[in-house]
Amino acid sequence: MKLWWSPGTRAVRAVWMLEEAGVDYERAAVDLSEPRRDPEFLAASPMGKVPALEDGDVRMWDSAAICMYLADRYAPDRLAPAADSADRGLWLQWMFFVPGAIEPAAAEKEAGRLSVPRVNGWGNFDKMIDTWERGLEAGAWIVGDRFTAADVMLGSCAIGMRAKGTLPGSPVLEAYAARCAAREAYRRALAAEGSAAAGGSLGRAR
């Protein structure tokens, strides 16, 4: 399995997910500062964005889609609730909450633009944060009582937003970010980021 990747990007979600799933993979680094993209990379990622994944005949891009694919295929009933389980619907909902609500609401906030909550699918930043916090009222993880791929997606946002200072004094989300960042698999993903920054262009996990 090959993961097209670049440090300091959403690709960390895919690395974290692969580490959680315990799957062998190789990382191919993409230099995003270089306008020309490798044609082999573009075959996996037509928008020229990371992450992208090649797994046998499967070529796909988008961090949420990749995390769902990996969870269903390599860690079913562990990182993805089974399709017929009661938790599946909630899991899908939170997976989509990241690209559908957190990312656009956070981008809007950072850009200082005004939201039109009834028109925008993400409502606005405060509504998004409030909804996310309420999702964590029942326990440590977002679905049921165990860590899943939805926590990789949400956790990466919480960790990133905490680092940028855009978590508006939310003890619930601060604690969630800390819980997610303490995962062994996340630490391995972070170490992989560092090894590339130190000069590695092609890495592998195990």
Using CB under 6 A as the criterion, which residues of the chain lie in contact with ligand GSH when the complex forms? 9-10, 32, 48-51, 62-64, 99
Least distance from ligand GSH to the Cβ atom of residue 37, Å: 8
Least distance from ligand GSH to the Cβ atom of residue 13, Å: 7
Cβ-based neighbour number of residue 125 at 10 Å:
21
For ligand GSH, which is the closer residue by CB, 47 or 138? Answer: 47
For residue 113, the Cα-to-chain-centroid distance in whole angstroms is 24
Least distance from ligand GSH to the Cβ atom of residue 100, Å: 11
Q: Taking CB positions, which residue lies at the least distance from ligand GSH?
A: 49
For ligand GSH, which is the closer residue by CB, 67 or 142? Answer: 67
For ligand GSH, which is the closer residue by CB, 13 or 109? Answer: 13
- Decide: 29 and 196 in contact? Cβ < 8 Å: yes
Least distance from ligand GSH to the Cβ atom of residue 6, Å: 7
Least distance from ligand GSH to the Cβ atom of residue 62, Å: 4
For ligand GSH, which is the closer residue by CB, 10 or 162? Answer: 10
Least distance from ligand GSH to the Cβ atom of residue 21, Å: 17
For ligand GSH, which is the closer residue by CB, 85 or 166? Answer: 166
**Strand 2-5 to 26-29 pairing:** parallel
Single-letter amino acid code for the residue at 151: D
For ligand GSH, which is the closer residue by CB, 63 or 124? Answer: 63
